């Protein structure tokens, strides 16, 4: 892989984002500025920022790779990411903007006043953001090993962590937003550009591309990548996908770092417009994964997707691995390099190399790193606002404290969260923690979404119901994942890799039982006010 | 925004204009939500339980499964467009209620 070109492109990206941060630092002098960019982000801008916050490097490299190796079964992963935004659009974005101030806990504790509800909501927000943050930062280490093997993975985690802290500490939400917008633009350019190159390679004929994808040579017989069944088989595969799909489609509407984006716009209409733009961009991106994946499979070829070894290195490797000698010698004679072990995550960068040369590969790699930065900056500011606004300001200081104290706590919290995440990620970098993202979605879907929906629609819903729902959703998600094949392998007690299909109903049942057991007249009285505010925008924060 | 008293919120919530807004929103959002979740989950279920049917090529080499997956994108965008169209009506209704309420507050103060 081209280390130098990638680093230069990444450095240009970092340079631009640092200039943006410097410009934004002047506007982050109040809470409203620091957490919510003064609510002056436009709907279109926020749509791009949501896309930049949402699409991860795992989608860009991981899903395209799964499609290259497993065709349709990989593409099934792409579908849910767009459909999930219908939940955000229909149920959450507008009421949240109309009733909240800075955090998810604002909406929940609007009618369910009390320390317990806010503390529990803050706990679930912090858990979700930390799971995500660690997954992303450990991903940096994997990405460096894959794309820039000459660099150290610890150094890379520290560099990404420090940049994320600079954006958040100095530029607040405004800088974070623009980092996400720039990243989304680069990501869309890379994805759409690669897709167009694939279509151009097939002389602008979709028929040719699909024909090639349905008969991919390799092994003893050709593979049809358009057919299901290459990765998942039968009923267990189906239930795993249903559970994951449910967690994805409901959980997105409970992800604190996505929801926080709706506080940066001026009104519920702008929140709606931003979801609409985000859905256009996210849809285009995930459609293009199909072109990239099928293109990589047919143009590069599965057996050539993986880290490559050239010349002396290749000869030394073959000498040490006589069992693979025949295959590797053939490769060496044919391509002048060998691919001892295939790795699907390299599908997009190697497709770039095949269609656009080393500069395009470097661009794709640099975009993957930029994507991680955009996501972790959003997560850090979310954790910081939850800590400062929900825990410090509302619970510890009971709503007192001036602006400068508040901003100091917010920045200190961002710093602490960042440092903890960096240290944890460095110590966990050699573990496979891919399950953390699925877990974060499951917690969001099981602990947050039932509470948001019931608070907005059920008059009788009570404080004890909210706490019971959040805690049962959280505990069920954690317990089920601990009992799943992810941790226990073949000795698993719970058969599915994602707990969603069980933990989401548990979250709802917990919330309903808690409500039916303890009546809460005060929260019932507040329902009218919440309903009027949520639907009309009367009294919304400006 | 002026401060609105607690009792006033309850009478606002009971007004026919507001009930109409809530009702027309729910009439769309509730069935649409159940529909898209069912449509989405139908993909892994059909592929998992009827792989042979879903492997059938229907448009050139494109299989039924792939077409169904692609149709999910169209479904999401169509529902988005329908909702955006309908929400213009909700916005007008909400704006009327806000305007009415602000005038009432102004009258009460003067």
CA distance linking residue A237 with residue A105, whole number of Å: 36
Query: How many helical (H) and strand (E) elements, i.e. helices and strands, does chain B have?
Result: 4, 2
What would the pLDDT profile of A281-306 be if each residue is shown by its tens digit? 999 999 999 999 999 999 999 889 99
Write down how long chain B is.
Answer: 110
CA distance A463 to chain B (A): 19
Say if the Cβ atoms of B43 and A229 lie within 8 Å. no
The predicted structure's pLDDT at residue A400: 83
> Which residues neighbour A337 within 8 Å (Cβ) at sequence distance 6 or greater?
A308, A309, A310, A314, A331
- Inter-residue contact A143 to A151 (CB < 8 Å): no
Q: Which chain B residues are closer than 8 Å to A283 by Cβ? A: 73, 76-77
A399 Rama sector, left if φ>0, alpha if ψ -120 to 50, beta otherwise: left
Q: Specify burial of residue B37 (Cβ count, 10 A radius: 0-12, 13-18, 19+).
A: middle
Where b means 16+ CB within 10 Å and e means fewer, B51-75 reads beebbebeeebbbbbbebbbebbeb
Provide the mean pLDDT of chain A: 92
- Residue A405: pLDDT over 80: yes
- Residue bearing the bigger pLDDT, A342 or B63: B63
The predicted structure's pLDDT at residue A434: 77
ipTM: 0.93
CA distance linking residue A261 with residue A103, whole number of Å: 10
CA distance linking residue B75 with residue B63, whole number of Å: 18
- Residue A1: pLDDT over 60: no
Say if the Cβ atoms of B97 and A83 lie within 8 Å. no
CA distance B80 to chain A (A): 7
Candidates A210, A279, A287; nearest CB to B61 = A210
- Residue B1: pLDDT over 50: no
- The C-alpha angle A59, B38, A262, rounded to 5 degrees, equals 55
Strand partners, A338: A309
CA-nearest residue to A213 within chain B is B61
Q: Which chain B residues are closer than 8 Å to A272 by Cβ? A: 84, 87
- Residue A108: pLDDT over 70: yes
Candidates A90, A207, A536; nearest CB to B83 = A90
- Inter-residue contact A486 to A478 (CB < 8 Å): no
DSSP for B54-85 reads HTSEEETTEEHHHHHHHHHHHHHHHHHHHHHH
What would the pLDDT profile of A370-385 be if each residue is shown by its tens digit? 999 999 999 999 999 9
- Residue A403: pLDDT over 70: yes
Residue A209 CB: number of other CB atoms within 10 A?
A: 22
CA distance linking residue A116 with residue A395, whole number of Å: 9
Mean pLDDT value across residues A203-208: 94
- Residue A417: pLDDT over 90: yes
The predicted structure's pLDDT at residue A516: 95
Q: Which chain B residues are closer than 8 Å to A287 by Cβ? A: 70, 73
Chain center to CA of A134:
12
The predicted structure's pLDDT at residue A151: 85
Q: Per-residue confidence at A462, pLDDT binned at 50, 70, 90?
A: very high
- Inter-residue contact A491 to A502 (CB < 8 Å): no
Alpha-carbon torsion, ordered A306, A308, A309, A310, to 10 deg: 160
The predicted structure's pLDDT at residue B5: 76
Q: Per-residue confidence at B24, pLDDT binned at 50, 70, 90?
A: very high
Query: Which of A536, A539, A541, A542 would you mutate first to test chain B, the one with the most B CBs within 10 A?
Result: A536
Candidates B1, B13, B40; nearest CB to A80 = B40
Q: Per-residue confidence at B109, pLDDT binned at 50, 70, 90?
A: low
Mean pLDDT value across residues B28-43: 97
Candidates A85, A89, A242; nearest CB to B44 = A242
- For residue A489, the 8-state DSSP code is G
- Residue bearing the bigger pLDDT, A305 or B105: A305
Provide the mean pLDDT of chain B: 91
Q: Per-residue confidence at A324, pLDDT binned at 50, 70, 90?
A: confident
Where b means 16+ CB within 10 Å and e means fewer, A284-317 reads bbbbbbbbbbbbbbbbbbbebbbbbbeeeebeee
CA-nearest residue to B76 within chain A is A83
- For residue A309, the 8-state DSSP code is E
> Which residues neighbour A462 within 8 Å (Cβ) at sequence distance 6 or greater?
A112, A514, A515, A518, A519, A520, A523, A524
CA distance linking residue A459 with residue A297, whole number of Å: 54
The percent of chain A in helix, strand and coil, each rounded to the nearest 5, is: 80, 0, 20
Query: Which of B94, B95, B98, B105 would you mutate first to test chain A, the one with the most A CBs within 10 A?
Result: B94
Alpha helical stretches, state H, A202-324: 206-214, 234-251, 256-259, 268-295, 311-320
Mean pLDDT value across residues A299-321: 90
CA distance linking residue A65 with residue A475, whole number of Å: 33
Q: Per-residue confidence at A510, pLDDT binned at 50, 70, 90?
A: very high
Say if the Cβ atoms of A528 and B9 lie within 8 Å. yes
CA distance linking residue A174 with residue A37, whole number of Å: 5
Proportion of chain B above pLDDT 90, given as a percent = 73
Strand partners, A223: A216
Q: Per-residue confidence at B6, pLDDT binned at 50, 70, 90?
A: confident
- Residue A254: pLDDT over 70: yes
Rg from Cα positions in chain A: 24
- Inter-residue contact A513 to A472 (CB < 8 Å): no
Strand partners, B63: B57
Q: Which chain B residues are closer than 8 Å to A452 by Cβ? A: none
Candidates A72, A76, A538; nearest CB to B101 = A538
- Inter-residue contact A188 to A292 (CB < 8 Å): no
- Residue A219: pLDDT over 80: no
Mean pLDDT value across residues A111-135: 92
Mean pLDDT value across residues B96-103: 87
Q: Per-residue confidence at B2, pLDDT binned at 50, 70, 90?
A: low
């Amino acid at each position: 892989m081209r280390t130098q070109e990638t680093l230069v492109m990444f450095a240009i990206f970092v340079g631009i984002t640092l200039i943006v941060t410097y410009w934004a630092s002047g506007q982050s002098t109040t809470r409203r500025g620091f957490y919510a960019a003064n609510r002056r982000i436009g709907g279109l801008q926020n749509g791009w920022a949501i896309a930049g916050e949402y699409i991860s490097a795992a989608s860009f490299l991981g899903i395209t790779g799964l499609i290259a190796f497993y065709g349709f079964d990989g593409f099934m992963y792409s579908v849910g990411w767009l459909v999930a935004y219908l939940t955000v659009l229909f149920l959450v974005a507008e009421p949240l903007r109309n009733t909240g101030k800075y955090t998810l806990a604002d909406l929940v504790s609007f009618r369910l006043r009390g320390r317990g509800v806010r503390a529990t909501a803050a706990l679930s927000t912090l858990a979700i953001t930390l799971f995500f943050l660690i997954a992303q930062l450990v991903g940096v280490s994997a990405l460096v090993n894959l794309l820039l093997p000459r660099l150290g993975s610890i150094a890379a985690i520290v560099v990404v962590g420090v940049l994320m802290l600079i954006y958040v500490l100095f530029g607040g939400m405004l800088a974070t937003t623009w980092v996400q917008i720039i990243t989304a633009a680069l990501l869309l350019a890379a994805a759409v550009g690669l897709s167009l190159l694939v279509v151009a390679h097939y002389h602008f004929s979709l028929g040719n591309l699909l024909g090639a994808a349905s008969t991919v040579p390799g092994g003893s017989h050709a593979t049809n990548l358009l057919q299901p069944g290459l990765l998942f088989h039968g009923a267990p595969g189906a239930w795993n996908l249903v559970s994951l799909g449910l967690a994805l489609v409901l959980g997105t509407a409970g992800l604190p770092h996505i929801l926080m984006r709706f506080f940066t716009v001026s009104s519920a209409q702008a929140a709606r417009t931003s979801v609409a733009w985000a859905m256009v961009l996210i849809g285009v991106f995930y459609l293009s994964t199909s072109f990239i994946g099928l293109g990589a499979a047919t143009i590069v070829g599965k057996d050539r997707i993986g880290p490559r070894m050239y010349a002396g290195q290749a000869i030394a490797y073959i000498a040490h691995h006589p069992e693979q000698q025949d295959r590797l010698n053939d490769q060496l004679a044919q391509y002048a390099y060998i691919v001892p072990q295939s790795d699907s995550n390299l599908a997009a960068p190697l497709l770039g190399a095949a269609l656009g040369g080393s500069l395009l590969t470097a661009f794709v790699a640099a975009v993957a790193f930029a994507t991680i930065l955009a996501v972790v900056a959003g997560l850090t500011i979310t954790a910081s606002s939850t800590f400062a606004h929900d825990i410090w300001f509302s619970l510890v200081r009971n709503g007192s404290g001036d602006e400068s104290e508040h901003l100091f706590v917010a920045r200190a919290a961002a710093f602490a969260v960042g440092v903890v995440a960096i240290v944890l990620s460095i110590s966990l970098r050699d573990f496979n923690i891919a399950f953390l993202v699925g877990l974060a979605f499951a917690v969001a879907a099981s602990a947050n979404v039932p509470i948001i929906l019931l608070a907005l629609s059920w008059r009788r819903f009570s404080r004890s119901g909210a706490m019971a729902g959040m805690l049962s959703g959280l505990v069920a998600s954690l317990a089920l994942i601990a009992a799943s094949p992810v941790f226990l392998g073949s000795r698993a007690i719970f058969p599915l890799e994602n707990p969603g299909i069980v933990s989401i109903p548990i979250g709802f049942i917990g919330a309903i039982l808690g409500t039916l057991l303890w009546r809460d007249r005060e929260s019932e009285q507040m329902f009218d006010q919440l309903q009027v505010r949520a639907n009309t925008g009367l009294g919304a924060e400006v | 925004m002026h401060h609105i008293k607690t009792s006033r919120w309850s009478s606002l919530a009971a007004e026919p204009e507001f009930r109409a807004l809530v009702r027309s929103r729910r009439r769309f959002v509730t069935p649409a939500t159940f529909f898209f979740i069912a449509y989405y989950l139908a993909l892994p279920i059909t592929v998992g339980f009827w792989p042979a049917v879903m492997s059938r090529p229907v448009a050139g080499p494109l299989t039924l499964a792939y077409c169904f997956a692609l149709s999910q994108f169209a479904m999401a965008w169509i529902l988005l467009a329908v909702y955006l169209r309908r929400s213009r009506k909700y916005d007008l209704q909400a704006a009327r209620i806000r305007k009415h309420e602000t005038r009432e507050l102004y009258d009460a103060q003067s």
